[in-house]
A and B are shown apart, each in its own frame.
Chain A
């Protein structure tokens, strides 16, 4: 079955009766079954979604279907879905069933979106290769020896492999954008607070952002428009009006774009990716846009600040997984201390334990000022600097990743190397700005390259229209 790429076209087929949701879902389920070795899904809601599809077809026939009818999505295992298992890719949540649905997911369901399953991911969103899942690594559909990126690796791989139309992931330091780049799809991290976090299992609360992985800008805009908005259950969610993102359209005005000198010249940046970004921006220049390479001397401070703050928050956010109330509990413990120690040691994976340990350390009374407070100051400085950039520029463009997709097992053994994979995505996470990764050609070896565009806070509209514009430059 050759499926149309955008939901709008798909829906006209559904309305015309050329296609039924049941056919569509059956197709996805077959694809998933055939591609099980990719390990994209931790669970597929096969029977349930077929029932839902039959009901939805009826609704469509009666002309009562809602706006997203026909949209089939996968949700990252960090999102809570009522009466379904949610386990954050971790053993510690073994057997945990959520009794409520995340606000963002509920908003999709309310518009007749069907949830096909939960996507594999790095445990609690901690990882850049999707090798830190209790259920094993996800493989990249482009080349099964490659990682799909992480932490929303299962989501990006599922979209690329055609297992679902769109996937809902989460992005704390690049977890949507980086796998999107590695799997050659679109990954949007909206402005922090644009989408309610209620029901998103927390990694680092002041960074966590629900994001969208899709094949085109139209679907990305539609899903964003549906999920965004205030939520009485999330005090950090923005109360700003949600614009009609689906009305994005490039305004034809010439844009001012900033590139960072320190990024272009970074020793870790792959030559092909450097060339790609120069080529892309050259094309923009040719169209009359203004592209400046400016200094961003704070680049070196981004990763340390990010890892101090996110691990600090994670160490506290993950304290609730203690074996007392739900999930995994170690057996044969003789004391409360032993219960805590054994449960957490056996329940969490290595990377999670490493980050909890690091976070506990940076929050400890004797090091709090040296690390946590200092990192907060760095974060403020970076935000100020980014704001300054946006006072003169419309967009910042930088590569999504310093390197193309890694081989399975290539960097996961070395945490520092793995942390470096986040170098360019962490910027928008620290600053909270909206950022998108769009496919931008291939390396000489045919590996996908993603280019990242960052916009000013809450400027998703321009981000979407400009991304669409860039994607269409070559055509």
Chain B
């Protein structure tokens, strides 16, 4: 494989669409949902019937502002909408309502981590817009079918400056966006279901050049990994072209995940003129300082801040902190365990290890996990007290506890004889009783079974009733036989 020519650098800008998790669409009262029977979440308004008018969903504005505040953007004092005019069958009105002149959030940045160092990805803007319907080309032989359920659902588009340089950075950026929107509760961030969509504009230039090369747009990358793969492929493709003295064409390309390559969709010969102009049906919505303050108060601790705090407060590694803050619920779970058991490192290890592997193997989220933080803290407590080894705890006690989550940890461990020293104590007790009662021992050995009860009583007394009677009996009989 040919190594990338180090004399080139890639310049990447991303456009990320996030579908907002709202009850209704952005400009009508129609229900916003996904995976529903086609054309059931529609009305005259979302179909753009003659005479209908849009009305803005205030919650959509709040969600966009939340994202803007989380990204340190400047929030517009009033939210205005523009029309982007183009004809397509799944666009009911012949125009899309979006924000062109003044985005609700201007500028800002998002922290990403690259090779253990933090980097700020500068944003151009975040704006609100409505989604189009969905054209389905492969379900009917007669032609294209259209599902308008998605038409008019609320999106924010996050546009970066052309400041990314690799597939890894793009991956990290999207990872961060997904974590952010989930933390803010404004979207489920599922790329596979189209809640998070990403287009990449990629060009290459010789290091030192100030002018950007010809831009290629990549679409249809529906997972974080595909974004990375597509960008890596595209950078290599462009460098190869350049090195072979060939032209890079300004075009839109689509990523084929099976082949792992991009291929041309359409050439951008001329810029489409969308004839943007202010939507006369939607008067600007004023955002007062008071309202903005209210939204600011609703913003929880953000993943990046939380990560910083975890590193500082709990002394976690960059990696551990990042994994443990990947979801809010996971972070809360960790903090509960950590506070309960006071051993932060162990709390982190237990969650990163056994707990996450259970979640992964069952494909569930921490909210669906059967054990409470207290129980994990309890296990850690016994390890700390030297009563359990980590390996016994994780390989025997933890799986058993998962099977019977309601059981008391101490009882379960004892029943399973997992506490270190428990076996030795029993051996000692048996030995002592035999020594204390030589005559009776002899009689028992000779078959006087009646005495067995007396022996058992003594042994149980010596082990403070903790021993398993069956096991004690077996051990007593074995010892008599072997001595």
Contacts and interface: CB of A to CB of B under 8 A. Distances in A.
Contacts of B93: 319-320
Given A80-B51, A98-B49, A100-B49, 9 more contacts: A78-B51, A232-B55, A315-B85, A319-B87, A320-B94, A322-B94, A360-B275, A363-B277, A365-B271
Nearest to A337: B87
A319 B94 CA distance: 5
A37 interface: no
Given A236-B283, A316-B95, A325-B92, A202 B56 contact: no
12 contacts: A98-B49, A99-B49, A102-B51, A198-B51, A206-B280, A232-B55, A235-B54, A316-B85, A320-B50, A321-B50, A322-B87, A368-B275
A336 B89 contact: yes
B51 A199 contact: yes
A368 B89 CA distance: 26
Contacts of B277: 312, 316, 363, 368, 372
A364 interface: yes
A234 interface: yes
Interface core residue of B49, B51, B55 (most chain A CB under 10 Å): B51
B51 A202 contact: yes
Interface residues of A, number: 45
B49 A326 contact: yes
Contacts of A236: 53, 280-283
A93 B45 CA distance: 17
A233 B280 CA distance: 14
A79 B89 CA distance: 25
Nearest to B84: A316
B48 interface: yes
A93 B85 CA distance: 21
A271 to B, nearest CB: 39
B478 interface: no
B44 A205 contact: no
Contacts of A204: 280
B178 interface: no
Given A201-B50, A205-B280, A364-B275, A319 B85 contact: yes
A197 interface: yes
Nearest to B272: A365
Contacts of B302: none
A233 B56 CA distance: 10
A313 interface: yes
B280 A364 contact: no
B40 interface: no
Nearest to A339: B89
CB-CB nearest 6 A-B residue pairs:
A319-B94, A363-B275, A205-B280, A206-B280, A199-B51, A201-B50
Interface in B28-56: 44-45, 47-56
Contacts of B83: 316
Contact of B53 (A197, A313, A315, A320): A197
Given A340-B87, A360-B275, A316 B44 contact: no
A88 interface: yes
A264 interface: no
Given A316-B83, A324-B89, A363-B277, A88 B50 contact: yes
A258 to B, nearest CB: 29
A313 B51 contact: no
Given A205-B281, A363-B85, A200 B51 contact: yes
Interface core residue of A79, A204, A205 (most chain B CB under 10 Å): A205
Interface in A187-201: 197-201
A371 B463 CA distance: 97
Contacts of A20: none
A234 B51 CA distance: 10
Contacts of B95: 316, 319
Contacts of B50: 80, 86, 88, 93, 96, 98, 201-202, 320-321
A93 B282 CA distance: 25
Nearest to A373: B277
B51 A320 contact: no
Interface in A93-130: 93, 96, 98-100, 102
Interface string A430-449: 00000000000000000000
Interface string A215-239: 0000000000000000011111000
A13 to B, nearest CB: 35
A316 B94 contact: yes
Contacts of B44: 99-100
Interface core residue of A78, A88, A102, A315 (most chain B CB under 10 Å): A315
B273 interface: yes
Given A316-B275, A325-B47, A363-B275, A235 B89 contact: no
B426 to A, nearest CB: 78
A91 B89 CA distance: 20
A142 B379 CA distance: 98
A320 B55 CA distance: 18
A358 B24 CA distance: 36
A113 B50 CA distance: 23
Nearest to A312: B277
Contacts of B54: 235
Contacts of A234: 53, 55
Interface string B132-152: 000000000000001000000
Given A99-B44, A100-B44, A365-B275, A235 B282 contact: yes
Interface in A293-349: 312-313, 315-316, 318-322, 324-326, 336, 340
A222 to B, nearest CB: 24
Nearest to A207: B280
B91 to A, nearest CB: 9
Interface core residue of A80, A100, A206, A319 (most chain B CB under 10 Å): A319
Contacts of B48: 320, 325
B273 A365 contact: yes
Nearest to A198: B53
A368 to B, nearest CB: 7
Nearest to B93: A320
Contact of B51 (A98, A312, A325): A98
Interface string B42-84: 0011011111111110000000000000000000000000010
Interface string B256-284: 00000000000000010101110011110
B129 to A, nearest CB: 16
B55 A235 contact: yes
Nearest to B281: A205
Contacts of B49: 98-100, 325-326
A368 B82 CA distance: 14
A99 B275 CA distance: 31
A360 B283 CA distance: 22
Contacts of B281: 202, 205, 235-236
A167 to B, nearest CB: 18
Contacts of A79: 51
Contacts of A336: 89
B110 to A, nearest CB: 31
A320 B45 CA distance: 12
Interface core residue of B50, B56, B277 (most chain A CB under 10 Å): B50
Contacts of B273: 364-365
A321 B280 CA distance: 19
A363 B50 CA distance: 22
A58 B51 CA distance: 34
Nearest to A327: B50
A86 B280 contact: no
